[in-house]
Amino acid sequence: MPHRRPDRLLLAVLTVAAPGILVIAGLLILGILSPVAAVAAAAVLLALATVIAWRHVTDLTRLQLRVEQLAAGEDDPGYEATTVSDLSLAIARLSRQWQDEREMLAAERATADYILDALPDPLIVVDKSNMVVRANNAAEEVFETELTGRDLSAGLRHPTLLRAVDSALRESTSLAEEIAMPPPMNRNYSALVEPLGESGDSGALILLHDLTPVRLGERMRADFVANVSHELRTPLSSLLGFIETLRGPAREDSEARDNFLAIMHEQAERMSRLIEDLLSLSRIEMDQHSRPDTPVDMRLVLAKVDDMLSMKARNRNMSIQITAPDAPAPVPGDEDQLTQVFQNLIDNAIKYGGEDTPVEIVVDQPDTRQLAITVIDHGPGIPREHLPRLTERFYRVDAARSRQLGGTGLGLAIAKHIIARHRGRLDISSAEGEGSSFTVTLPTFAEETDESPDEALG
């Protein structure tokens, strides 16, 4: 049985008995009751008041303890029904309902938070006073700041977008348009601003979809078409001009005919190289996400390229010097494609390196997980501003010299895509007057397995 506080019981008895005591006292003062009768009547009254108060104080104490148990999430299996059991049960049902609703809301919020943070696009929710009440992980990564709990304008400084949010909050109007974020972001976004609730009284939702890769792709395709057209137009125009000349004024001129035919052959080879490189680039891009896994010994690849280009190097009084460990780790790769990469890099080193200088190839294994191969030339070097764009298609530091040497402007772009397919990287460094170095870093089998080099080579 619950503990009854004495002060509570005494107070209840006095409350119940007080009117009767006052009446008895009045009758005693008026002489209607004798002192003995008044005392007897008061005693009986207090006894009755005690019995009545006892029951009600007990029930109220039980109810208090029951409510306290329910508030603490506890239950008392030994709880006995009292005159207030219906109220107690109603409180219990209400408590269970509230608990169920709290658990359901917590689960729904956790699910909503998970979904919002899993979205790849930035999403921001603001209240009617323009304060950010929720920003997913993508939004905070893009804007590189904690947005939640701050005014939107403190983290997002784009006038068009801020005006759109104001319109959504004040006029309940939606906006969907492309916006360009200023530096240092330099990104293009498709922005959707949608009011929440009636007339935006619940705030607004902002969803940003990054269009930068799409716009870069469109620009690259436009540049690609323009460059291909330009690269093909020149040799085609030359061929058409020489053919017209040979069919006309130079028809009987054997010396001019031989000279023109040599130039036509050169221009046709140039177009053939360009088309072959374009096809090669297309094939590599198709296999971009298919990682090769055949063990390739890079010593053999470099030896093969040395055999292919040694004559070309000797024609310029240059030599190819290879420095490699006795047993470098094999790499998972496509031997033909890796040969193409280093044929391109070493060929460029021969073309653009200084005469009477060596082309150095250094193979280094900084750890068991990667292999680095560096091709070094001792030519005039490349100005710093050109380095970031060297692997772009058709980008040339010296376009005239490149064409004169038979370059198509696609060699480094092809190399970059092959290296990316092998999950490697290409690092370029150069100093004007000192030469350039191209470092290809490739993962070894140790990155994925515990195989030894000999086991990986089979």
DSSP for 20-85, written as a single string: HHHHHHHHHHHTSS-HHHHHHHHHHHHHHHHHHHHHHHHHHHHHHHHHHHHHTT---TTPPP-TTH
Name which residue leads in pLDDT, 61 or 415: 415
Question: For the segment 371-407, what is each residue's pLDDT rounded down to a tens digit?
Answer: 999 999 998 888 888 888 888 777 767 655 555 555 5
* Token pair in block for residue 11: 């107070």
Count CA atoms closer than 13 A to 84's CA, side-chain side. Answer: 17
| CATH architecture, domain defined by 290-457 | 2-Layer Sandwich (3.30)
Beta strand ranges found along 127-219 (DSSP E): 132-135, 175-180, 188-195, 204-210
Residues of the chain with CATH 3.30.565.10: 290-457
Q: Please tell me which of 53-67, 71-85, 374-388 the model is most confident about, judged by mean pLDDT.
A: 374-388
Helix (H, G, I), strand (E, B) or coil at 426: strand
Give the predicted TM-score (pTM) of the model. Answer: 0.50
Q: Which of 163-167, 364-368, 407-411 has the lowest mean pLDDT?
A: 407-411
Distance from C-alpha of 25 to C-alpha of 88, rounded to nearest angstrom: 40
Whole-number pLDDT of residue 1: 44
Beta strand ranges found along 91-131 (DSSP E): 123-126
Residues of the chain with CATH 3.30.450.20: 120-210
Q: Which residues on neighbouring strands pair with residue 134, listed in sequence order?
A: 125
Whole-number pLDDT of residue 454: 43
CATH topology assigned to domain 120-210 = Beta-Lactamase (3.30.450)
Question: For the segment 231-282, what is each residue's pLDDT rounded down to a tens digit?
Answer: 777 778 888 888 888 888 777 777 888 888 888 888 888 788 778 877 777 7
Name which residue leads in pLDDT, 364 or 244: 364
Residues of the chain with CATH 1.10.287.130: 214-285
- Which CATH number applies to 214-285: 3.20.20.70, 2.60.40.1150, 3.40.1160.10, 1.10.287.130? 1.10.287.130
Whole-number pLDDT of residue 96: 79
User: Region 329-348: what's the mean pLDDT?
Assistant: 89
